[in-house]
A and B are shown apart, each in its own frame.
Chain A
Amino acid sequence: MTTATHDHDHDHDHHGPAKGITRWLYTTNHKDIGTMYLWFSFAMFLLGGTFAMVIRAELFQPGLQLVSPEFFNQMTTMHGLVMVFGAVMPAFVGLANWMIPMMIGAPDMALPRMNNLSFWILPFAFALLVSTLFMEGGGPNFGWTFYAPLSTTYAPPSTTYFIFAVHIMGASSIMGAINIVATILNMRAPGMTMMKMPLFVWTWLITSYLLIAVMPVLAGVVTMMLFDIHFATSFFDAAGGGSPILFQHLFWFFGHPEVYIMILPAFGIVSAIIPAFARKPLFGYSSMVYATASIAFLSFIVWGHHMFTVGIPFLGQAFFMWSTMLIAVPTGVKVFNWVTTMFRGSMTFETPMLFALAFVVLFTIGGFSGLMLAVAPVDFQYHDTYFVVAHFHYVLVPGAVFSIMAAVYYWLPKWSGRMYNETMGKVHFWLSFVGVNILFFPQHFLGLAGMPRRIPDYALQFTNFNMISSVGGFLFGLSQLLFLYIVVHTVVAGKKAPAKPWDGAEGLEWTVDSPAPYHTFSTPPKIN
């Protein structure tokens, strides 16, 4: 088995990266791989965003204008899959690759070659997935939750490609997770005890365990689909004695922890940025760790709240309602801790801080609607409406995505050695902030008024808010091109950044030069 120490021996005398394309193809350097993950996820973010723009354009007015219902369904499905597996998850893995070794004082990841492999299979997975759009019968059209039997008996022929793509993504995630756990458990610098680790490292450690536990479930589910489609089994086919409900139980046993996989690392990022710009240590470090662990634990016993309307017996319904509502407690603790960290601090509002503050407010709004959705009898009214769409986009876009943007602005000086343009960063923030709220807030109203999700056309009373939402969508979508420009401009022509550009920032990553040298902490740092 390959380990860091192995490469370490070889690479010790090399000082920089290889030249040309082979640097990226063969690299085992955590910084290179982190960079590739981040660029890949940004490309997927734009692709998934393009799908979203198609959806919002079609929904701008009632009636069918631009796309057919079949294609619309492919767009909603692909948007979900690409954003979840292509944009958010790889972005967090990229951040983990870059930051975890530097935060714990390790020279690299524990398994650098596997690291290379887990990245390089991703582009193939997504090429496979996106290619289905051009196949006969079209791409996956059954939603990112791919409920059977719509995704088996009634699915387009391209579903097989979709299944293999999911297999590859799962393999990549599992490898990434194993690598991260192995790094965190074994490669901390002497003196870096568990309870001294930055919260980003903690949240990623817990996230990795979630990934290792549930990705095999996803792999199992899609394999069962494969068998149902091609080998006449009937895991999910009522006609053959199977159960479509079994699919949903399995999917959401994966799916709910998956949701937390996409938000826990965000908690870690925000817990690094808020203290830095409030110039005050994080309030309640240990309670943050325990809260994260409890959220992770609870995520395994709440999956039934996605299935309140499928017909679960009363006791089951009540159990899932109570366990779900319980999650509000540790989540609340986190929000209170962040707010108290700001209290009596000495705050400044650079771009990373703005994104982190927006995260706290908007993620909390998403949490509120989550609490409302947890109340089972009322969920009968919310379920599968735009209220749910608004809820999960509030936790995922101004939640997970804003945290990623905050992280990019925060650590970009460390990665590139150059400072981004503060004015442009702020413009990007305000456009995104205003756009995202115009985009998603009216969707609460649409859902409450009765608009189901995943429909290509809607009744006339939903017109106004759909129009507003679409306008917000275009604004938000376009402002991300500005983000691209800012990052490229920084890397190419930004002002030189000092080793520690933020005076309140804490952590080992700020003790090395900017840009971070190709090899850092070849000799472990001393931790006091």
Chain B
Amino acid sequence: MQRKLLRGSLALPALLIGSWAQAGWQLNMPRGVTDISHQVYDLHMLTLWVCVVIGVLVFGVMFYSMYKHRKSKGAVSADFHESTKVELAWTLIPAAVIFGIGVKATYVLADMYNVDDAEMTVEVVGYQWRWRYRYLSDDPDTEVTFFSNMATDWDEINNLVDKNPNYLLDVDEPMVLPTGTKVRFILTSADVIHSWWVPALAVKKDAVPGIANEAWTIINEPGTYRGQCTELCGKDHGFMPVVVEAVTPEEFDAWLAVKQDEARQMAELTGRDWSMAELMERGQSVYNTSCASCHQVDGSGNAPTFPALRGSDYVRGDIDDVIDIILNGKRGSMMPAFRDQLSEVDTAAVTTYIRNAWGNNVGDMVTPVDILDIKAGQ
């Protein structure tokens, strides 16, 4: 009802354009799918309506005076310029209104801060420019950790192909959460400040390096909820979406089991034999999600900050140096350490890829087992 009223009063331009008033004309905050987000929405509407009423009164008097008390209509100005009573009234009445809003808001705020009795904990770590999610578990071996990268193709961003409906809001691996379960988030960052926001959950918390922030949610309805990083975090700040997929607790358990299994399978995947073609194929996709935003899809880089990989003597030189820079980063540059971010398989694949793609043609390859040895040995 309130929503309709708002559309009616504020949506004039949209109404004029008539039936186009579809998703692209969303005017208001989403109501969301948690009890907190509903409270937040109600509070938002309350404050909005208070403002609208005050606005109508104040601007009403103003427009009335502008119409009635104009010189061209022969208005003669009065001379009053003080009235303690009136001034007292318009100090106290707004103060009372604000007090009312404040009390309600304080209760909602207290609710938002009550993280206790969470049934599970997910750690959210911001990286330039991806999120890492870790599902805490009592048994360290069954902990599920993965990175969530934007899945939108750079060709879409560069207008070379059509944009899909979830343009910029799609990730390779969403955070999966069970419905009806109190989930605690521990948020922090590995580099600069990021902010993790899902509008439908009314959860927004900064991920600050060195500090572990807390937030929580209980999702009422299954569904896919999309958001974005909301704190300027450098070049690709606009390209680090957040996607939460809420499923029933049963589905969640099944998903978790699959993910734990994947971790085990990853060990097998690392152990098996890899052909050059397989590594190149996997390497290309790893490169495009993890490297292309700086070094570009075609390896041409973006000098001077992001050197070209295509035709680079360094990339085509000693393979151990290349692996070292990928695993450990390069000090004093923008190149981070990918040791935690890429699996052995992905590290091997991307190393092989950059040494052989775009006419680099070194011709050699490195296997996941080699990477494992390098990581373990040295």
User: A–B direct touch, CB within 8 Å, in complex?
Assistant: yes
Q: Mark A262-294, 1 if CB is under 8 A from B, else 0.
A: 000000000000000011111111110000000
Q: Tell yes or no: B335 within 8 A of A by CB.
A: no
A281 touches B81 (CB 8 A): yes
Q: Tell yes or no: A336 within 8 A of B by CB.
A: yes
A311 touches B81 (CB 8 A): no
Q: How far is the CA of A136 from the CA of B128 in the complex (A)?
A: 21
Q: How far is the CA of A142 from the CA of B304 in the complex (A)?
A: 18
Q: Tell yes or no: B44 within 8 A of A by CB.
A: yes
Residue of B nearest to A146 (CB): B232
Q: Tell yes or no: B231 within 8 A of A by CB.
A: yes
Q: Tell yes or no: A227 within 8 A of B by CB.
A: no
Q: Tell yes or no: A501 within 8 A of B by CB.
A: no
Beta-carbon contacts under 8 Å, B198-227 to A: 199, 202-206, 208-211, 213-214, 227
Q: Mark B79-123, 1 if CB is under 8 A from A, else 0.
A: 111110011001100110010011001101110110000000000
A383 touches B210 (CB 8 A): no
A137 touches B230 (CB 8 A): no
Given contacts A311-B205, A340-B86, contact A381 B228 (CB under 8 A): no
A339 touches B58 (CB 8 A): yes
Q: Which size bracket describes the interface of A in this complex?
A: 35 or more
B109 touches A346 (CB 8 A): no
Residues of chain B within 8 A of A65, CB atoms compared:
159
Residues of chain B within 8 A of A284, CB atoms compared:
81-83, 87
B159 touches A280 (CB 8 A): no
Residues of chain B within 8 A of A339, CB atoms compared:
58, 61-62, 65
Residues of chain B within 8 A of A364, CB atoms compared:
55, 58-59
Q: Tell yes or no: A260 within 8 A of B by CB.
A: no
Residues of chain B within 8 A of A369, CB atoms compared:
51
Q: Tell yes or no: A321 within 8 A of B by CB.
A: yes
Q: How far is the CA of A460 from the CA of B70 in the complex (A)?
A: 47
Q: Tell yes or no: A430 within 8 A of B by CB.
A: no
Stretch with Cβ within 8 A of B (4 or more), from A2-10, A17-25, A164-172, A371-379: A371-379
Residues of chain B within 8 A of A333, CB atoms compared:
87, 90-91
Q: How far is the CA of A276 from the CA of B38 in the complex (A)?
A: 48
A459 touches B168 (CB 8 A): yes
Residues of chain B within 8 A of A64, CB atoms compared:
157-159
Q: Give the Cβ gap from B374 to chain A, nearest Cβ, in Å.
A: 26
Stretch with Cβ within 8 A of B (4 or more), from A106-114, A417-425, A442-450: A442-450
Residues of chain A within 8 A of B108, CB atoms compared:
377
Q: Tell yes or no: B197 within 8 A of A by CB.
A: yes
Residues of chain A within 8 A of B1, CB atoms compared:
none
A455 touches B163 (CB 8 A): no
Q: Tell yes or no: A154 within 8 A of B by CB.
A: yes
Stretch with Cβ within 8 A of A (4 or more), from B25-33, B134-142, B268-276: B25-33
A375 touches B47 (CB 8 A): yes
Residue of A nearest to B228 (CB): A452
A69 touches B210 (CB 8 A): no
Contact of B70 among A243, A346, A454, A463 (CB under 8 A): A346
B44 touches A372 (CB 8 A): yes
Q: Give the Cβ gap from B57 to chain A, nearest Cβ, in Å.
A: 10
Q: How far is the CA of A282 from the CA of B81 in the complex (A)?
A: 6
A243 touches B210 (CB 8 A): yes
Q: Tell yes or no: A191 within 8 A of B by CB.
A: no
Contact of A318 among B81, B106, B203, B206 (CB under 8 A): B106
Q: Tell yes or no: B251 within 8 A of A by CB.
A: no
Q: How far is the CA of A137 from the CA of B167 in the complex (A)?
A: 29
Stretch with Cβ within 8 A of A (4 or more), from B188-196, B282-290, B313-321: B188-196
B26 touches A372 (CB 8 A): no
Residues of chain A within 8 A of B23, CB atoms compared:
461
Given contacts A328-B98, A329-B95, A348-B70, contact A461 B26 (CB under 8 A): yes
Residue of B nearest to A462 (CB): B24
Q: Tell yes or no: B5 within 8 A of A by CB.
A: no
Contact of B167 among A62, A69, A332 (CB under 8 A): A62
Q: Give the Cβ gap from B103 to chain A, nearest Cβ, in Å.
A: 10
Residues of chain A within 8 A of B109, CB atoms compared:
314, 317-318, 321, 376-377
B199 touches A150 (CB 8 A): no
- Which among A154, A282, A381 has the highest number of chain B CB atoms within 10 Å? A381
Q: Tell yes or no: A297 within 8 A of B by CB.
A: no
Q: How far is the CA of A456 from the CA of B157 in the complex (A)?
A: 10
Q: How far is the CA of A65 from the CA of B299 in the complex (A)?
A: 20
Q: How far is the CA of A313 from the CA of B80 in the complex (A)?
A: 49
A461 touches B24 (CB 8 A): yes
Beta-carbon contacts under 8 Å, B62-87 to A: 62, 65-66, 69-72, 75-83, 86-87
Instruction: Give A contacts to B, CB under 8 Å.
Output: 62-65, 68-70, 73, 136-137, 141-143, 147, 149-150, 153-154, 238-239, 243-245, 278-287, 309-311, 314, 317-318, 321-322, 325-326, 328-329, 332-333, 335-336, 339-349, 357, 360-361, 364-365, 368-369, 371-372, 375-378, 380-381, 383-385, 442, 445, 448-450, 452-465, 468
